[in-house]
Chains A and B, each alone.
Chain A
Amino acid sequence: MEHLGYLFAAYSIIFAVIFLYVMFIWRRQAALDAELRTLEARMAALGEQPAAGGPPQPQSET
Chain B
Amino acid sequence: MNNPTIRNWLGFSTLALMLASLFMIFDYVPPDAEMGIAQLIFYFHVPLAWVAFASFGLVAIAGIFYLWLGDQLWDDLGYAAAETGMVFCTLMIVAGSIWAKPIWGTWWTWDSRLTMTFILWLMYGGYLMLRASADDTPEVARFAAVIGIVAALDVPIVIASVRLWRTIHPAVLVTKQGSHGLEDPRMIWTLLVSLTAFTVLWAWFLMLRFSQLRTRSRMRRLATRIALATAAASDPN
| Chain B interface, DSSP helix/strand/loop, else mixed | helix
| Chain A interface, DSSP helix/strand/loop, else mixed | helix
- Docked pose: A55 CA to B215 CA in angstroms: 28
> Number of contacts between A and B (CB, 8 Å)?
97
CB–CB A3/B233 < 8 A: no
Kindly state whether residue B155 has any CB partner on chain A within 8 Å. Answer: no
CB–CB B99/A6 < 8 A: yes
Query: Please, which residues of chain B bring their CB within 8 A of the CB of A53?
Result: 232-233, 235-237
How many residues of chain B are within 8 Å of chain A by beta carbon? Answer: 39
CB–CB A4/B37 < 8 A: yes
Known: A13-B94, A43-B226. A52 touches B235 (CB 8 A): yes
Query: Please, which residues of chain B bring their CB within 8 A of the CB of A59?
Result: 225, 228-229
Tell which of B144-152, B178-186, B204-212 binds the partner. B204-212
Known: A25-B209, A56-B232. A61 touches B38 (CB 8 A): no
- Docked pose: A21 CA to B216 CA in angstroms: 18
Closest to A2 in B: B36
Known: A17-B90, A32-B212, A52-B236. A11 touches B229 (CB 8 A): no
CB–CB B215/A32 < 8 A: yes
Instruction: Specify which of A6, A21, A35, A36 is in contact with B205 (CB 8 Å cutoff).
Output: A21
Residues in B lying within 8 Å of A, measured CB to CB: 36-38, 40-41, 44-45, 48, 87, 90-91, 94-95, 98-99, 101-102, 201, 205, 208-209, 212, 215-216, 219, 221-223, 225-226, 228-230, 232-237
In the A-B complex, the 5 residue pairs with the smallest Cβ-Cβ separation, listed nearest first, are A3-B38, A10-B98, A3-B102, A56-B229, A10-B41
